[in-house]
Amino acid sequence: MKKYMNTNNKIVSMLLVLTLIVVSCTDDFDEINTDPNNPTSVPAENLFTQAQFSLVDEMWGRALNFEYAMLMVQHFAQVEYAEDSRYNQSNSTFNTPWVTLFAGNQDTQSDGGLANVQEAMELTMEDPNINEAQRNNRLAQLGIMRAWTFQIITDVWGDVPYSEALQPNEFPFPAYDPQENIYSGLLAELDEALGRISTSESGFASGDVLFGGDMASWGRFGNSLKLRMGMRISDVDATLASTVVSEAMSSSLGLIGNNEQNAVFVFNSDQRLANPFYVDNVINNRDDFAVSEILISRMESANDPRLSAYALRNTNDEFVGMPYGLTDADAFALNTVTSRPNGSIREATAPATLLSYAEVEFLRAEAIQRNFTTGDASQSYANAIEASMKQWGISDQSAIDSYLAAHPYDAANFKESIGYEKWIALYTQGVEAWAERRRLDAPSLPVPEAAVLDMIPVRAFYPAVEQEANATNLDAVGFNNQTTKVWWDVF
C-alpha cells in the first residue's frame, strides 16, 4: 500500500508540474496574439507523464474497456441502455477511444496519447543536457510505450494509420497500413527500444509513473510485450512467431517473473486522476454494469475462489449474474437483484494492469505446446493460474491447490484449456481479453437472441471522426464493419 501511495503522490506532483509549466510559459509574453493555453515548449518528461496517464486511462476506461471490450467477452452485462451488449454500435461509438489513443482526451481537450509520445521522442533526441546512455534509456521507455499503444490500436481496428501517423505536417491525411505490416514495424521498433536499454543508467525517473525510471522493469515489460506480440501472430505466421518468442525468452532482459514485477499503473485519489471505474460509478453516479451470468455461473461451477474478488453478493447474499444481451426492459427488470463488480475494482486508486506475470505464464505454456520453446506447459499453466489467484488476493494455498487439481491442463485441447483460464484471469482487462478470445476462439460464448448481429464482433467500427477527417484513406480500406476478422485472427 505504501508503494501505491507514493506512486499516487508522484502522479499528482508530475501533472501539477506540467500545469505550472503550461501557465508559466506565457508569463512573460506581451504580444496580444499569445494563446495562454498553448505553451511554446513542455519538457519531455512531462509529456511522458501525460501520455502514460492518457493512454492507460483510455485503455482502462468506460468507452473502450467496460462499455465495449468487457462486453464483447461477456465479463460484464448491462443493466440498462443495453444496446452495446446486443452489438448495436455505430461508428460514432469509437470517436473518443480513437482520438484519445492518438492525440489525447477528446472530452477534456487535454493532450496525451501517442502525439505526446512522439513529441517527447523528438525532444529527447535533441536534448543536449543528457548523456547518450540516458538518451537511449529514455527513447527505450517511449518506444515501449508506443509499441504497447499501437498494438492495442491495431488489435481493435486492424489496418490503421501507422507509417504516416503522427506526422501532421508531412502527412496531414495519413494512409492506412495493413496490420501485417504494422506488426512487422512494431516488432522492429520494440527490438530497437530493447536494444537501447542500459540497466545501470537512468531513464526518465521523475516523469515515469509506471516504473519510476527503473530500466530493469522496463526491459522486462518490453520483453514480455514482445512475447505477447509473438504469440498473437502464432496462427497466421508460425515461423515468425517462433523466432520472436524464442528471442523474448532468451533475452538477458528477462520477462515479468512474479506479481511484484507486473506492469501496473496506479491511479490517484484525486478524481481527475482516479481509476475510470471509480470515476464512472462514484463521480459520474453511473451504475450500468453487472457481472454477467455466464461469468458467475462458470466460476461457481468451477468452485473458483476468485469469484468473491470479482463480484459482490446481492441483497439476498447471493451471487446473481445478469443475463447477457437482454433488451433494455428485460435488463432493467433485473437491475436490483444482480451482482455488481467487487468494490475493490471501483476504488479510486485501484491499479490498471498493462501486462502481468499470469499472462506471461499463459503465453509460455502455449509457446511450449506449439514447440516454440522448451519446458513444461502444464507447469506454466499452473503457474499462471496461481499467479492470477494471488494477484486477486487469494492467499489460501489449499484453495489454490484444490482448484489446480480439479482443473488440470489439457494438452490435447490447449486452446480451450488456456483460453478459458485466460478469459477468467483477464477480468477487467477487457481489451486484452477480447483479443485473446478472438485468437484462441475460447471459451465458447453465446450470441444473445436480441443481438443485431449473428456473431460476436471481431473488430471495432472505424470512428466517425476519421470518416470526416480522412475519408479517402479510410475508404481505401474497403469496409467498415464489426464482422471482418483482423489479420492475425485466422480461425
Task: Give DSSP secondary structure letters for 347-374.
Answer: -TTPEEEEE-HHHHHHHHHHHHHTTSS-
Q: What percent of the chain has pLDDT over 70?
A: 91
Question: Could you give the CA distance from residue 414 to residue 332 in angstroms, rounded to a whole number?
Answer: 38
Q: Cβ–Cβ contacts within 10 Å for residue 431, how many?
A: 23
- Which pLDDT value is given to residue 40? 55
pTM of the model: 0.92
- The answer on pLDDT for 6 being more than 50 is no
Instruction: Tell me if 236 sits within 8 A of 171, measured CB to CB.
Output: no
412-429 average pLDDT score: 98
1-9 average pLDDT score: 42
Instruction: Tell me if 442 sits within 8 A of 432, measured CB to CB.
Output: no
Question: Could you give the CA distance from residue 346 to residue 353 in angstroms, rounded to a whole number?
Answer: 14
- The answer on pLDDT for 231 being more than 90 is yes
- Which pLDDT value is given to residue 111? 72
- Which pLDDT value is given to residue 22? 38
Element spanning 153, H or E? helix 132-157
At residue 283, φ and ψ (nearest 5 deg) are -75, -45
Q: C-alpha cell of 161?
A: 494509420
Instruction: Tell me if 114 sits within 8 A of 102, measured CB to CB.
Output: yes
Question: Could you give the CA distance from residue 87 to residue 452 in angstroms, rounded to a whole number?
Answer: 6
Q: C-alpha cell of 100?
A: 484519445
- The answer on pLDDT for 105 being more than 90 is no
Average pLDDT value for the chain: 92
Q: Cβ–Cβ contacts within 10 Å for residue 139, how many?
A: 19
> What does the pLDDT look like over 326-349, one tens digit per residue?
999 999 999 999 999 999 999 999
- The answer on pLDDT for 293 being more than 80 is yes
Region of poorest pLDDT, from 1-15, 39-53, 56-70, 182-196: 1-15
Task: Give 14 or 148, the one with higher predicted confidence.
Answer: 148
**Interior CA angle at 379 toward 376 and 382, to 5°?**
150
At residue 362, φ and ψ (nearest 5 deg) are -65, -45
- Which pLDDT value is given to residue 41? 74
The partner residues of 311 in beta bridges, in order of sequence, read 341
396-425 average pLDDT score: 98
- Which pLDDT value is given to residue 157? 98
262-285 average pLDDT score: 96
Q: C-alpha cell of 374?
A: 522448451
2-29 average pLDDT score: 41
Closest CA to 104 of 32, 163, 155, 42: 42
393-404 average pLDDT score: 98
- The answer on pLDDT for 3 being more than 50 is no
Q: C-alpha cell of 97?
A: 477511444
464-488 average pLDDT score: 97
- Which pLDDT value is given to residue 31? 37
Q: Please report which confidence band the pLDDT of residue 371 belongs to, taking 50, 70 and 90 as the band edges.
A: very high
In the DSSP assignment, the letter for residue 35 is -
> What does the pLDDT look like over 344-363, one tens digit per residue?
999 999 999 999 999 999 99
> What does the pLDDT look like over 437-460, one tens digit per residue?
999 999 999 999 999 999 999 999
Query: Domains in the chain and their CATH numbers?
Result: 2-25+41-273+348-475 (1.25.40.390)
Question: Could you give the CA distance from residue 356 to residue 450 in angstroms, rounded to a whole number?
Answer: 35
Question: Could you give the CA distance from residue 156 to residue 175 in angstroms, rounded to a whole number?
Answer: 17
- Which pLDDT value is given to residue 172? 96
Instruction: Tell me if 387 sits within 8 A of 424, measured CB to CB.
Output: no
Tell me whether the omega of the peptide bond preceding residue 36 falls within 30 degrees of 0, making it cis.
Answer: no
- The answer on pLDDT for 234 being more than 70 is yes
Question: Could you give the CA distance from residue 135 to residue 122 in angstroms, rounded to a whole number?
Answer: 11
- The answer on pLDDT for 21 being more than 50 is no
Pairing of strands 263-266, 176-177: unpaired
- Which pLDDT value is given to residue 152? 98
- Which pLDDT value is given to residue 206? 87
Question: Could you give the CA distance from residue 4 to residue 2 in angstroms, rounded to a whole number?
Answer: 5
- The 3-state DSSP class for residue 258 equals coil
427-442 average pLDDT score: 98
Question: Could you give the CA distance from residue 107 to residue 91 in angstroms, rounded to a whole number?
Answer: 17
Tell me whether the omega of the peptide bond preceding residue 443 falls within 30 degrees of 0, making it cis.
Answer: yes
In the DSSP assignment, the letter for residue 407 is S
Task: Give 36 or 469, the one with higher predicted confidence.
Answer: 469
> What does the pLDDT look like over 112-157, one tens digit per residue?
899 999 999 999 999 999 999 999 999 999 999 999 999 999 999 9
